[in-house]
Structure 1
Amino acid sequence: MLMFPGVIDRYREFLPVDDATPTVSLGEGSTPLVRSRSIKDSLGCRELYFKLEGCNPTGSFKDRGMVIAIAKALEAGKTRIICASTGNTSASAAAYGARYQLETLVLVPAGEIAIGKLAQAMAYGARILAVNGSFDDALTTVKGIVESWDIELVNSLNPYRIEGQKTGAFEIVDELGGVPDILCIPVGNAGNITAYWKGFKEYRGIGRIKKTPKMMGFQAAGAAPIVRGMPIPNPETIATAIRIGNPASWEQAEVARDESGGLIDMVDDNEIVDAYLRLAREEGIFCEPASSASVAGLLKLPELDVDLTGKTIVCVLTGNGLKDPGTAEKRALVELEYVEPDVGSVMNLLASGN
């Protein structure tokens, strides 16, 4: 028994589960909503919060959807699961697969996965196939395998993934006691913006909230098919989690944008890294680069003539910074200083001003 209620226990009435569905959990959900202490002041908004999805069990938002996908797979008697991944989905699938004794197969684009994410899937014991191609190539291959083999697809094409991920929207409303004016969120395969919009609409439908936020999605400039209006054959960005050229939930993301009166725009790698470092150094929040696309996009909104005055804003930070430690090592521009292990040497170094 878990002392910490997971997504299924907390939001059962809103999920496609019943008495026949196993109550699966690793303690996912109920992630912190942290008020900004610094970045807010440069924007003129009323309040700014960060939803820390990196506090989920495998370090990303993927756990919210994976728990429902796994529960329904177990309910259906499945013994194998499969996904294509830029890293976070593979880590989540492998973790839940290990806990519930499901054979887990993941396909990843060769050489394109951050080491922190790949290490997780390895540790959990998944079988990992590195595809000579992009994430989109890997997903196409996975879809073909599912058609010819008895194995459960747990990418966000699986509708149960979206059902679980919508609980992030519920938590924001429950924590704030209301709805934000604007929600900023990274867009890769576009399942998360789809899920959050679904969650807000469901809460409005039962009268929990009277309005919904404007959904502001942000792609990386080198992987921005929705913004550019065409698939990107070879997407490229430092934000590996959103390095996707043909999102599975493209149409649904556009619906979320249009119905909410929001937008989907793009931010370049320099803007992503700047936001990544600002979050770490001004807010004490270490997220992976793809997560910081939401904040990079927020910082860009005034340039797009979006008035933030008096607004309450939530930025979803989708993954933990430890997922991609290489970016910090390369971009933080902090050098180790070597010193002898005695007080005098340390004090002399500090006094030198170097």
Structure 2
Amino acid sequence: MKLVCVDCHKESPAESFAYQCECGGLFDIAHDFRHLDAEQLKRVFHDRLSERMTPYASGVWRYKELIFPDLPEEYIATKYEGNTGLYASELISSYTGNRQVMLKAQSENPSGSFKDNGMTVAVSHGRSLGYRRFTCTSTGNTSSSLAMYASIAGGESYVFVPNKNISLNKVMQTLAYGAKVISFDGTYDDGIRFYEQHSKELGLYICNSINPFRIEGQKSIVYEIAQYLDWKLPDWVVIPGGALSNVTALGKGLQDLKSLGLIDKLPRVALIQAEGASPFHRMMSEGRSELIPEPAPYTRASALNIGNPPSWKKALRTIEETRGVTCSVTDQEILDAKALVDKSGIGCEPASAATVAGLRKLVSRQVIDKDETAVCILTGNMLKDTDALREYHLDESSNGTFRNAIHGAELTLSNIAGLL
């Protein structure tokens, strides 16, 4: 394993760990997979599906050879994350207009979001370096995941949270896991800048997406999809984008699978952002080569409320390598799609539903053909933002297309029969 700068391509040993290169670029972790045999890996990964109470029962550490092969097992902090469901949904495919849509429910992770796939690796790496104090800045899911894994590892977590446009459910979950939560006046990007400057002197190990080990864990999501589908991926993978770590990890995982011969072709990637926080989509649609940050982003899908995504250069690489596309959707489109994902029996938080809303828009514009297959990544649990549920279904001013209000009635046969 070695560190490779995304900007200047300078290489360093993984043991000389840093979050950023001297030139300011982010690091990737590069593996040498030349000694690995694809068919043998398939057998190993299959056999580990029966593991219980070992690190390999995890849907992340099952793929340890592709993620962090040299980490001693005693440093692994795991809650058997991953192993999340992949569901075909006729309701959703009817809504988007596709022949087949599958939903990858990362919402079923232990802390309720996809962040667990990356956080188990980041905290385990920090632990191996001797850290006991872990930090992140977060709009919600990263903070609760970090707090959970830091506690499992016997460490402490310090979380910086903007004081507006976030979900209180996620903050309460973070507090419950024992984190020290620091609420500040500013944006996600302000929090990132603060600890980039001061984490070293405070003795804090950073667990945001600037940490390349977190990306290594998150790429296991696409490994799992591939294994569940007998190593044959769909035509499209659709993913929401905030900090853009998820699409970065997706692209890295896809390249791993292809280079190893575990899959024979790359699916195309569709990255979906909310209209109120879509600096990457705007860069792509305007044909620019540099991202212009949005100083005051806002979307009701709070997990996407990021105006200066730190991983945009890595995300651009994924879009280019997979002949991918980007798209933005309105908050109303997100909330309507969420209502149907919830109704399908799977459920998700608003940011997750951007994938379904974006897929529907891309099919309607004939960017994605109705006969093509797709997997939508659902990143967070529906109970991560109960205010969104209440506002959509119970608020009289809701414009929800699929609003499902509570019906009051006296318990008489005629009244109840009239409601059935």
| Structure 1 Cα separation of the partners of residues 407 and 333 of structure 2 | 29
Please tell me the residue identity of whatever aligns with 2:387.
Answer: G
Q: Does 1:151 align with 2:204?
A: yes
| Structure 1 Cα separation of the partners of residues 408 and 365 of structure 2 | 46
Give TM-score scaled by structure 1 length: 0.94
> What SS does the aligned partner of 1:38 have?
helix
| Structure 2 Cα separation of the partners of residues 98 and 254 of structure 1 | 34
Task: Give the 3 Å change call, closer, same or farther, for CA 20–300 of structure 1 in structure 2.
Answer: same
Q: Does 1:170 align with 2:223?
A: yes
- What's 1:308 paired with? 369
> Alignment identity in percent?
38
Deviations, residues 195-240 of structure 1 (Å, cap 9, x unaligned):
0111111010010111111110011100001122321101000000
- What's 1:66 paired with? 119
Q: Does 1:18 align with 2:77?
A: no
Q: Does 1:199 align with 2:256?
A: no
- What's 2:48 paired with? none
Deviations, residues 293-340 of structure 1 (Å, cap 9, x unaligned):
011000000243314233121000000010001101010244434456
Deviation at 1:255, TM superposition (A): 1.1
Deviation at 1:146, TM superposition (A): 1.2
Segments of structure 2 that go 5 or more residues without pairing to the other structure are 1-51, 284-291, 395-403
| Structure 2 Cα separation of the partners of residues 303 and 238 of structure 1 | 24
- Give the one of 59, 78, 89 matched to 2:142: 89
Cα RMSD (Å) = 1.7
> What SS does the aligned partner of 1:65 have?
helix
In 2, are the aligned partners of 1:194 and 1:256 still within 8 Å (CA)? Answer: yes
- What's 2:46 paired with? none
- What's 1:189 paired with? 243
- What's 2:264 paired with? 210
| Structure 2 Cα separation of the partners of residues 39 and 8 of structure 1 | 27
Please tell me the residue identity of whatever aligns with 2:352.
Answer: S
In 2, are the aligned partners of 1:8 and 1:23 still within 8 Å (CA)? Answer: no
Deviation at 1:46, TM superposition (A): 3.3
- What's 1:119 paired with? 172
In 2, are the aligned partners of 1:237 and 1:269 still within 8 Å (CA)? Answer: yes
| Greater mean alpha carbon deviation, residues 247-256 or residues 183-192 | 247-256
- Give the one of 317, 332, 347 matched to 2:413: 347
Q: Which has the higher contact order (CA 8 A, sep 6+)?
A: 1
| Structure 1 Cα separation of the partners of residues 122 and 64 of structure 2 | 14
In 2, are the aligned partners of 1:275 and 1:296 still within 8 Å (CA)? Answer: yes
| Structure 2 Cα separation of the partners of residues 19 and 140 of structure 1 | 29
- Give the one of 53, 62, 86 matched to 1:2: 53
Count matched residues. Answer: 349
> What SS does the aligned partner of 2:53 have?
coil
Task: Report matched runs for 1:126-145 at 5 Å.
Answer: 126-145=179-198
In 2, are the aligned partners of 1:66 and 1:96 still within 8 Å (CA)? Answer: yes
Deviation at 1:20, TM superposition (A): 2.8
Segments of structure 1 that go 5 or more residues without pairing to the other structure are none
| Structure 2 Cα separation of the partners of residues 207 and 168 of structure 1 | 18
- What's 1:34 paired with? 87
Please tell me the residue identity of whatever aligns with 1:254.
Answer: L
| Structure 1 Cα separation of the partners of residues 88 and 244 of structure 2 | 26
